[in-house]
Amino acid sequence: MLLPPEVEYQLVQFPTVEQLSTVERQAIPEKLPQLAEVVQRISRNYLGRAAQLGAARLLTGNTDLQPVVQTAGPSLAVDLGDDHYLMLKLDQALANACIATLVGAPATGPNQPHQLTSIDRAILRPYLATVATNLARTIFHHSAGHQEFLEPDQPEQLTAAQAEFGVLFPMSLGQVSGQIAMIAPVAVWRNINSVPQAASQRRLSLDQLGQVPIRLEAVIAGVCLSLTEISTLEPGDVIPLPEDGDMIVHLRAGPCTVAIGRPGTQAQHLAVCLAKAATSEETN
C-alpha cells in the first residue's frame, strides 16, 4: 500500500481574543445533542453499528481540558482558516479499537499505548478528518482545510493558547470503552450561534428573488357552459360574453389570482384597469 508522505503541522501563535458573552456561552450546552449526532452518524458509517456514544459532556477551562489533552492517544487538528483550528483527541484504547475495526480485525481490549505509525495515521485519518470536517461545517460554520496529526506535546500548546471549551464524547466499540474529545478555541465557538448571519443571508436571497420576472395573464371571467356545450364546441362557434359594464378581468400569475380589474385601452392597446387586490377567497 502506497502511503502519503507525512506533512509537518505548523503551529502558529494564536492571538488573544475576548471572552464569550453570556448569550454565546448559553448557546454551547444547547448544541451538545447536535454535536453528538454528527459524531455518532459518522462513527456508525465508518465503524459500524457497534459504535455507541454516551451522553456528551461539556469541558470548560484548564481543569477539564488538560487531563483530556494529556491522556495518551492520537490528536488530529484541522485548519479552519484565520489561525483557527478544531482538534479531535482519542484515548489510546479507543484509537486501537478504531484501527482494528477499520482494518477488519475484532475490537478487543486496550493495547499498550504506543506512538502512532504512518500506517496507523493512514487508517485513522479518513474517519477523524470526516468527523472534524462535518463538525466544522454544520456546527461552527467553518470550511475545514488542511488536517494533520499532532505530536504528543502539541495539543497542550494549542489548548494553552486559546481553548476554553471542549466536548467529551464517551464511546464504546465492541468490548472497548473510551472517549473522543473535540476542542476548539474561543473564536471558533463564537460561530456556534450564528443565526443573525443566516437570517441576513435569507433576506439577501429574498431581495434577489424579487427580481425574478413573473408572467401575468388577464383572464375574462363570468361565462359558464355546461359539460355538454363544451364537448360540442367547434371552430367558428361564438361564445357570448357579458356586457362591458359587467365584465371582470382576473389578473393571474399561474393558477393564482393576484388582482381584479376591468378591460380597457391605453395608447390604442388593450389594457386592464385594476380595481382591487384579490382576497384570499378570490386567489384560487
Query: CATH: 1.10.10.10, 3.40.50.300, 2.30.330.10, 2.120.10.30. Which one for 217-283?
Result: 2.30.330.10
The mean pLDDT of the chain is: 75
Q: Which band of pLDDT confidence, cut at 50, 70 and 90, is reported for residue 135?
A: confident
Mean pLDDT of 62-86: 81
Phi, psi of 119 (to 5 degrees): -65, -45
Residue 84: strand pairing partners: 81
Classify domain 22-197 at the CATH topology level: Chemotaxis protein chec (3.40.1550)
pLDDT recorded at residue 170: 92
- Domain boundaries of the chain, sorted by first residue: 22-197, 217-283
Instruction: Yes or no: say if 89 and 178 are a contact pair by the CB < 8 Å rule.
Output: no
Question: Closest Cα partner for 72 from 131, 122, 116, 103?
Answer: 116
| Domain 22-197 identical in fold to domain 217-283 | no
Q: From residue 64, give the alpha-carbon distance in Å to each of 76, 161, 281.
A: 19, 15, 62
- Determine the pLDDT at residue 148: 81
Q: How many residues does the chain have?
A: 284
Give pLDDT tens digits for 148-177: 887 776 777 666 656 677 888 999 988 888
The reported pLDDT for the residue numbered 180 is 92
Closest by CA position to 248, among listed 281, 282, 280, 225: 282
What pLDDT, on the 0 to 100 scale, is given for residue 161? 59
> Among the listed ranges 140-144, 196-200, 275-279, 280-284, which one has the minimum average pLDDT value?
196-200
Report if pTM > 0.75.
no
Query: Which residues on neighbouring strands pair with residue 39, listed in sequence order?
Result: none
Residue-by-residue DSSP string for 115-139: PPPHHHHHHHHHHHHHHHHHHHHHT
Q: Return the SS3 of 166.
A: strand
Confidence grade of residue 2 (pLDDT, cut at 50, 70, 90): very low
Q: For the chain, what percent of residues have pLDDT higher than 70?
A: 73
